[in-house]
Chain A
């Protein structure tokens, strides 16, 4: 069974450009999460989809970030325009059952974004 896959694995863009990160969750997982780790900081929650609906987007830093999950399958996270402080690793994760104690959340390998 394929795990959570993310694309691109690495991206270098100039300040002001746009980048779109893609995440394919494990098949059958309704819950999809985005997290990120900027340099020197903790891994922080960005948002949570249940199927195609945004369940919690309290961690989105500002309106330069737009996440979508059309059809409840894969998700994209767009950063437009990118700023230097957006550099970091963006992790996608998925899980099967929402809110169940002990629910395991599986992570992808991350998309490493560098804004120059």
Chain B
């Protein structure tokens, strides 16, 4: 079965310090992986996506994620947190092949708090 696990429900960092949001996935097929962000009372915005090209993926707002097949991980990082990064982040896997149509499976979400 395919699944996504976000290892932390809440992460708190100080402004200007690095951000690490952890994600592990389980998939029988070659997955496509995404990170989405949801700011308070807003919709889901795509941060970045991995589609079997480069394993280090750069996204918007200075975020990046590295696909590590051996560790089945896709952690999200940012060198320096900004107050505007405070939001909920979702690691997502999309399944292709064998009749799958790209249905998304979401992790539980990680709430990022950024302290001044």
Contacts and interface: CB of A to CB of B under 8 A. Distances in A.
Contacts, number: 64
A106 B46 contact: yes
Interface magnitude class on chain A: 20 to 34
A69 interface: no
Contact of A102 (B51, B104, B105, B109): B51
Interface residues of B, number: 24
Interface in A86-116: 91, 93, 95, 98-110
A107 B47 CA distance: 12
Contacts of B109: 42-43
B49 A55 contact: no
B99 to A, nearest CB: 9
A116 B66 CA distance: 44
